[in-house]
Chain A
Amino acid sequence: GEDVEQSLFLSVREGDSSVINCTYTDSSSTYLYWYKQEPGAGLQLLTYIFSNMDMKQDQRLTVLLNKKDKHLSLRIADTQTGDSAIYFCAERETGFQKLVFGTGTRLLVSP
């Protein structure tokens, strides 16, 4: 099956930029997503990018997609303590009605 990998942990200081990375194996993925999971809650869709795009910006969030390397990243500008959460990368598996999730990256923002 397809595989999505992320680093497990990232620690930054408040006000810095955070960059969370993700690699995937399905070269024919149509959509790639970033979800955020806060403690005790389900996952919330943060942003997504269509596979024919290289970059998408949405306020403090910038998504970069390198299709050649199958690498996706999420940059959070001016990171705040409220951004502390687990961030999941996910891809839509071509031909299947499901998303394949990465292992999640726990972002810790210290004051």
Chain B
Amino acid sequence: EAQVTQNPRYLITVTGKKLTVTCSQNMNHEYMSWYRQDPGLGLRQIYYSMNVEVTDKGDVPEGYKVSRKEKRNFPLILESPSPNQTSLYFCASSLTGTGGSNSPLHFGNGTRLTVT
């Protein structure tokens, strides 16, 4: 089954303790992206990657890192989490970039992160 898999689904951590949220897709997609969803703000892009070893900042990259060593994986790293990073995080992928009828975004089921 074609899918984007994020882990964990839920995570509670304390300020300053490094964490990684994993994301994997099995569709051989070139493009991958991370979003955070906050009430009243919709989805905001954190980072995206056009292909292996190519990553770029989105709208809200501060406090986050990503890597794209393999095509299928795109982990999100919080080196020193803070309470304002409490949010619902989504990983997404598409065949080539975004948009177009043949390249829609496929989303994972989300990771709810709480930083105390």
Contact = CB atoms under 8 A, between A and B. Distances in A.
Contacts of A101: 35, 42-44
A1 B40 CA distance: 17
A10 interface: no
Contact of B41 (A33, A40, A103): A103
Interface residues of A, number: 23
A1 B41 CA distance: 14
B43 A88 contact: yes
A97 B110 contact: no
Contact of B98 (A8, A43, A98, A103): A98
Contact of A48 (B56, B104, B107): B104
Contact of B42 (A31, A44, A97, A103): A103
Contact of A42 (B41, B44, B108): B108
Contacts of A42: 4, 90, 92, 107-110
B61 interface: no
Interface of B: 4, 31, 33, 35, 40-45, 48, 50, 56, 58-59, 90, 92, 97-101, 104-105, 107-110
